[in-house]
Structures are given as C-alpha cells and as structure tokens.
Amino acid sequence: MLASTTRSPLDTVELMLNSLRDRHLEGVLDCFDESPDVYIFPEGPRWTNKGGQRIHKGWRDYFQAPIRLKSWRWTNGPEVFESTDLALVCGVIEYEFEGAGQPRPLTMRMTWGLRRSGDGVWRIIHEHGSQPLADPYGTGDWLRPDEAGS
C-alpha cells in the first residue's frame, strides 16, 4: 500500500506502525511527508524534530539504533477525524519495545496529524506521543463524578 491514493489516514498510521514492527524502513518513510513544515514530538529524549528531511534522517538512524518494536495494539480508539486534505488519528496504544536487548513495554496516548500530499497520498505531518503525569498540579484529578456516581 506504499504511495497509494486509496490509503486512508488510519491505513497510513497502521502501515507506519506495522512497517516499524516489521523493520521495513521504506514503509515507515513513505508514511511521513517530506515537507519542511512537518513537526514531530518524539517520545524522547529530544523534545521536537522539524522538517521532513530531518524526520526521514531520524527514522533511518532509528533503524540503526538498538530499538525494536515487537508489537503494538490499540487499547482505546482509534478515533479518526477527516476532512478533504487534513486528518487526525488518535488513540491509546500499548507498545512492546525492546531496547538494548531488554523488554520495554510502553503505553502512549498517540495523535497523528495527516495531510493529503500533492500526489494524493495521506502522509503524516505531525506525531505526538504522551503519557499522563501523575499529579501535574498537586491537586489530584479535577474531574468530578456526575450525579449518577460514574
């Protein structure tokens, strides 16, 4: 499904994740736009990466690092919001990574922004993975139960 104009935004995200798991660099790269305005929030240790060429270089370097995605699955979502040329795909994913030979399970809230490229193919222009902080404001959870007690 590389460079397919029938690929949906969700297809693009899942192709990227499956290509990452299967160690298919070209599949991952095909899912990311090469434009200079592409902006990614990697899991770390860096805060950001900007520019399609830099992001493509980052993926090539990632494939040389001692990191491997063993499996992934949606645990909440995916939710897809799509217009003519822009889309969001978001949800919670449970990843099973291996880093430096050690198991590294990681659950992340993930959001991908996609744009239909000039060739008509949906490609990622923004990726953001995060985890909730334990108590960022020191007040606990501010969401109150409703009257029904839920």
1, part of any domain: no
Which tens digits make up the pLDDT trace of 39-93? 999 877 788 999 999 999 999 999 999 999 999 999 999 999 999 999 999 999 9
Residue type, 12: T
Report the predicted TM-score, pTM, of the whole model to 2 decimal places: 0.90
145, part of any domain: no
Strand order in the sheet with 102-116: 49-50, 39-41, 122-130, 102-116, 86-99, 67-82
3, part of any domain: no
- Please give the residue range of the domain that contains residue 81: 9-130
Report the CATH number at residue 53.
3.10.450.50
- Count: domains in the chain: 1
64, part of any domain: yes
Distance CA 77, CA 80 (A): 9
Instruction: Judge whether 52 and 103 are in contact, CB under 8 Å.
Output: no
Which tens digits make up the pLDDT trace of 20-44? 999 999 999 999 999 999 999 987 7
* Residue 1 predicted with pLDDT over 80: no
Which tens digits make up the pLDDT trace of 111-136? 999 999 999 999 999 999 998 888 88
Helix (H) or strand (E) holding 36: none
25, part of any domain: yes
29, part of any domain: yes
